[in-house]
Amino acid sequence: MLAFAQSDIGMVRKINEDSYVFSPPHLFVVADGMGGHVAGEIASSLGASTIQEHIQKIEQPANWEQVLKEAIDKANCIVYQMSQNKSECQGMGTTVTAIYADGTEICWSHVGDSRLYLIRDSILQQITSDHSLVWELVQSGNITSEEALVHPHRNILTRAVGTSDTICIDSGRFSWQPGDSLLLCTDGLTNMLSEEVILRICTQLDQPQTIVNTLVEQARDAGGYDNITAILVQYKG
């Protein structure tokens, strides 16, 4: 396995509200916070660190898909409690997209509009579904994917960690094989670069560091309107 992660403030925002966990060879997480002032930064950092701490306490083989869901559920409770107890954190929340690599099996859990992609045989497959208003409009056929990128309500989430006392978490598992790559990223990347561009960069370049650096650089060149976070994990066999 080869892997690399990078988070960039972008060209517009004053604060980087993205957080990530980079803990090869097993745990990788991206989180994109939301909320006024620094609340988004607090939400994503708290969510990501809670997940990592929960995973680190597991000392034996486990159902990692279920463990990830439990970790995100715990993060939801902690972020929500802080949002209720501190006025400056009111209304804060965060996306979470997390994977646990258990040998040849990838377990994932997800809330929000950050994404997990599988790149196999020069095909980019989105594993997660966005929990956002525009994603629902795309899925229902009311707007196209291209229209979603410029839709005035594209930043409205239908699910986020920490915005209510309970949370519905998507999860799953799949096998990966030598030659596969996994890309976890926040919408600061996917709102700036098309999937065609992302796929081209991921397949034409070789090393994870070069790929991630190029993805972030091109997202910045395209406007960098949001924070940009990406993790690339390659299965070299």
Q: Kindly report the CA angle at 127 between 122 and 131, in degrees rounded to 5?
A: 135
Answer whether 39's CB lies under 8 Å from 88's CB: yes
pTM value > 0.85: yes
Structure confidence at residue 128 (pLDDT): 98
**Distance (Å, rounded) from C-alpha 159 to C-alpha 169?**
9
Domain that includes residue 41, residue range? 2-234
Q: From the centroid of its chain, how far is CA 119?
A: 16
Q: Are strands 2-8 and 181-185 parallel, antiparallel or unpaired?
A: unpaired
Average pLDDT on 167-188 reads 97
pLDDT digits (tens, 9 = 90+) for 68-87: 999 999 999 999 999 999 98
The CATH number linked to 6 is 3.60.40.10
Q: Kindly report the CA angle at 211 between 193 and 121, in degrees rounded to 5?
A: 85
Structure confidence at residue 133 (pLDDT): 80
DSSP 8-state code for residue 89:
G
Pure H helices in 108-207: 133-139, 145-149, 187-190, 195-204
Domain count, the chain: 1
Q: Which amino acid is at 211?
A: I
Residue 38: which pLDDT band, with cuts at 50, 70 and 90?
confident
Token pair for 25: 């060879």
Burial letters 74-93, b for 16+ CB under 10 A, else e = ebbbbbbebbeeeeebeebb
DSSP 8-state code for residue 157:
B
| 164 pLDDT above the threshold of 80 | yes
pLDDT digits (tens, 9 = 90+) for 115-147: 999 999 999 999 999 998 887 777 777 777 766
